Amino acid sequence: MPPALDLRRQRIVVTGGSGFLGGFVVEQLRSRGCENVIVPRSRAYDLRDMRAVERLFDDARPDVVVHLAAVVGGIGANRERPGEFFYDNLMMGVQSMEVARKRGIKKFVAAGTICAYPKFTPVPFREAELWNGYPEETNAPYGIAKKVMLVQAQSYRAQYGFNAIYLLPVNLYGPRDNFDPKSSHVIPALIRKCLEARDKGAEEIEVWGTGAATREFLYVEDAARAIVAATERYDGDEPVNIGSGSEISIRDLVTLLCKLTGFAGSVRWDATKPDGQPRRCLDVSRASELFGFSASTSFEEGLGRTLAWYGKHRAGR
């Protein structure tokens, strides 16, 4: 591995640092002795506006940028707001990296998404497969917008010698996630649905799709640890998967969450709603080889922590 960048000596901007993943990345950095971590807020710096991005760099004077800011959501949100998901994510990423290049910062860390992979990528997903097809339709605008940063990072490295790296986190879950059913991802949405059904004594819950699709999940603290490790140790032009390397079907996930939440009713599958991408599971060997990352939190342990947090923070509790 190359010599590590001493992050304690850097001024680090974490865009999206007040969000779900970003909050854990900021905590990880500060726990390692990084005292100059700047978290811009969208109300002060709208990263869709180039002038606001330039003002952020003028004010923060960063050495390193970890770009995590994103407009995200589950299948429903992606279907309802594809234009917003495309434009906002594209402009935030492209403009942040362009200003970082012009200001000569030491390193730019771009967080992509597993949604960038083609719909029928062979399992396990290897980084070399990224361009071998079109993403799954329901989240293609989001996935493509985030994938543009890979092209930008590689182009800027080739022409300008700009040190930008591109990471591909898998589906994340954990404490402090978004549990709003209108915009949440599958795990928090199902946790909330199961708990509310249990508390009401409902006999069944409805779940979108057939349950046949598979997903890979990574506990958010593990993801934060991976991002910080890559920021310290990885300087290459190849994209790198960040995940746990294992998959579970949505049907098995629902069964597990019913058990963990104590919901004893039945599950009705609405097959008129989309499953999304048929399978998702990453080859995570590159992250292990390049910066020594492997997930350390088991799925049931991570779900237990997530449930415990949500149990304490549910509205009216």
Q: Is there a domain that residue 300 lies in? A: no
Q: Is there a domain that residue 183 lies in? A: no
Q: Is there a domain that residue 49 lies in? A: yes
User: Does pTM top 0.85 for this prediction?
Assistant: yes
pLDDT, tens digit, for every residue of 264-309? Answer: 999 999 999 988 889 999 999 999 999 999 999 999 999 999 999 9
Q: Is there a domain that residue 301 lies in? A: no
Domain, as residue range, for 78: 8-173+219-245+281-295
Out of 45, 117, 142, 219, the active site residue is 142
∠ Cα 239 177 34 (to 5°):
60
Q: Is there a domain that residue 203 lies in? A: no
The pair of three-digit structure tokens given for residue 275, joined into one six-digit string: 């499953």
Task: Please report which residue ranges of 185-315 form alpha helices under DSSP H.
Answer: 186-200, 220-233, 250-261, 285-291, 299-313
Q: Is there a domain that residue 255 lies in? A: no
Q: What are phi and psi of 46, to 5 degrees?
A: -85, 105
Q: Is there a domain that residue 312 lies in? A: no
| 142 labelled catalytic | yes
Residue 78 sits in a domain whose CATH number is: 3.40.50.720
**Three-state SS at 262:** coil
User: In this structure, are residues 119 and 92 in contact, taking their beta carbons and an 8 Å threshold?
Assistant: no
Q: Is there a domain that residue 190 lies in? A: no
Please give the single-letter amino acid code of residue 192. R
Number of domains in the chain: 1
pLDDT, tens digit, for every residue of 134-165? Answer: 999 988 999 999 999 999 999 999 999 999 99
Residue 179 and residue 256: Cα distance in Å, rounded? 18
**Three-state SS at 118:** strand
